[in-house]
Amino acid sequence: MEDSDSYILESQIGFVMRRVVQRHIAIFFSLIPDLTPTQFAALAKLCELGQASQNELGRLTSMDVATIKGVVDRLRGRGLVSAEPLATDKRRLILTPTPQGKALYRKLVSRAREVSQQTLSPLSEAESQQLMMLLRKLD
Amino acid sequence: MEDSDSYILESQIGFVMRRVVQRHIAIFFSLIPDLTPTQFAALAKLCELGQASQNELGRLTSMDVATIKGVVDRLRGRGLVSAEPLATDKRRLILTPTPQGKALYRKLVSRAREVSQQTLSPLSEAESQQLMMLLRKLD
DNA sequence: CAAAAATTGTTTGTGTACAAATAGACTGTG
DNA sequence: CACAGTCTATTTGTACACAAACAATTTTTG
């Protein structure tokens, strides 16, 4: 019966994940103060693709239309991404990384790998793989 | 050498966690549209404690001073939490859940448990425990 | 006890994140 | 071909999240 007494906030998956994400973002910032994780994700995906519409980039990086707009605007504002409307489909805004965007990405990518590594550093290799496998199932 | 080619955004712990958190928040909202996860966390912890200063509540729920202020302001605005300065230490703002706050918490707590359960539903019991154990190490 | 240090809370500014509404452009089907 | 439905992007509003700076108040310590 004492149903409400058994709710331990600290044991809830959402609470723990929020804390782990906070730690991860702090590590990211310590190694890559230049960009936020979200901005880096958008830039990385765009560099991988070479080119994409804003909407497409949002879908591929799991960002809402409003969110990706803000992120892209900031990347454009810093000259890392250029944008122009597509002639054959006037709805779309085609994004391309600028040379500076590509250069920055190349410069940061090894540090980004380091971020993932540091985040997982309390775990063994086997544990890290286990964790990734489990998280993927919740994706 | 082709170092930058081997960065797979989708395999990075940060990216995957961001997606898992997004899914969790969506589940939370579907079952508990009344409050955000953050608001519920603050209310839950305050109900557990009976009483706390704003700063203390923030620390216990892993919220920054500015964040906890916003969250508490909204809970106060809805009459779920009451606040008054502490006589013996005029810096502190003592928070207490109102009767409505307590009632809402009691009403929602079983649904909150359901949120955690649904979030973990793609995993077996053993896998869920494994995941929680691994996440705790990253905390 | 007095000055230095620490704590609590507020404010401001930037950056996600999502819902909902809108406008313009395309696509498909009748 | 028309028009209903879909897609892309923008805008607005709300809610975290954190850094940095500030004021007021303890607490520490020399």
Assess if residue B1 is contained within a domain: no
Chain B: residue nearest A44 by CA? B9
Q: Provide the phi-psi class of A92: left if phi over 0, else alpha when psi is between -120 and 50, else beta.
A: beta
Strands of A34-127, DSSP E: 52-53, 81-85, 93-97
What would the pLDDT profile of B92-120 be if each residue is shown by its tens digit? 999 999 999 999 999 999 999 999 999 99
Q: How many domains does chain A have?
A: 1
* Whether the Cβ atoms of residue B9 and residue A41 lie closer than 8 Å to each other: yes
Per-residue pLDDT, A5: 64
What would the pLDDT profile of B66-102 be if each residue is shown by its tens digit? 999 999 999 999 999 999 999 999 999 999 999 999 9
What would the pLDDT profile of A72-122 be if each residue is shown by its tens digit? 999 999 999 999 999 999 999 999 999 999 999 999 999 999 999 999 999
**What Å value separates CA B95 and C1' D13?**
28
Assess if residue A139 is contained within a domain: no
* Facing A16 at nearest CB: one of B4, B113, B132: B132
pLDDT at B1 over 60: no
Per-residue pLDDT, A139: 85
Q: Which of residues 3-62 of A touch B (CB under 8 A)?
A: 3-4, 7, 9, 11-25, 28, 37, 41, 44-45, 48, 61-62
Assess if residue A126 is contained within a domain: no
Structure tokens at A15: 């609470």
Gap between the Cα atoms of B129 and A78, Å rounded: 44
* Contact check, Cβ <8 Å, A14/B115: yes
What is the average pLDDT across A119-135? 97
Assess if residue B72 is contained within a domain: yes
A14 vs B contacts (CB less than 8 Å): 21, 24-25, 28, 37, 115-116, 119
pLDDT at B25 over 50: yes
Assess if residue A131 is contained within a domain: no
* Contact check, Cβ <8 Å, A137/B122: yes
Gap between the Cα atoms of A47 and A115, Å rounded: 19
Report the range of poorest mean pLDDT among A4-18, A40-54, B50-64, B91-105. A4-18
Per-residue pLDDT, B6: 81
Per-residue pLDDT, A1: 46
Nucleotides of C under 7 A from a protein CB: 7-13, 15-21, 24-27
Assess if residue A39 is contained within a domain: yes
Assess if residue A51 is contained within a domain: yes
What would the pLDDT profile of A16-47 be if each residue is shown by its tens digit? 999 999 999 999 999 999 999 999 999 999 99
Mutating which of B39, B119, B135, B136 best tests the A interface, going by the most A Cβ atoms within 10 A? Answer: B135
Supply the CATH number for residue A78's domain: 1.10.10.10
User: Could you list the residue range(s) of the whole structural domain that residue A24 is in?
Assistant: 12-121
Gap between the Cα atoms of B134 and A95, Å rounded: 38
